[in-house]
Amino acid sequence: MIGVRFYLDYVSAPRKRKGQHAGNVIAAHVISSGRSWSHVGIVSKGATGELLFSVECIAALYASPNSVVCSSSVSRMYLQESCKFISEERARDIHPALFEYMDMAIAHEKENGVPQQG
């Protein structure tokens, strides 16, 4: 899927080390340029002045497997520490509700003439 990277959500770094994922996938929005890509998000300053990067995404609403999803944002650090990059095929197997939402959104955009990325 163009413009999206999929991450298996483990909820925490200790659960990731144990291989205990939550049964949900985060679909992070990305911009591609040739062979490189970057997350779409917002940079802000934390309480102590450090820069924080929030990644725009579609994520699970609940911690139960195959949860309903909504638009969200997660920190880049969360993706690195508590998630693992996976293929679209594997993401579809693990979290069908995510793809029902995404397919519905794509159909809506096509129907209303909103241009697609890529």
Question: pLDDT tens for residues 50-90?
Answer: 888 888 999 999 989 999 999 999 988 899 999 999 999 99
Q: What is the per-residue pLDDT across 8-53, written as a single tens digit (0 to 9) for each? A: 999 999 999 999 999 999 999 887 766 666 777 778 887 888 888 8
pLDDT, residue 104, reads 86
Distances (CA, A) of 77 to 6, 11, 55, 97, 98: 15, 12, 10, 25, 22
> Domain-by-domain residue ranges, the chain?
4-111
* DSSP code at position 114: P
Structure tokens belonging to residue 56: 């725009």
pLDDT, residue 118, reads 43
Res. 116: pLDDT tops 80: no
Structure tokens belonging to residue 89: 């095929």
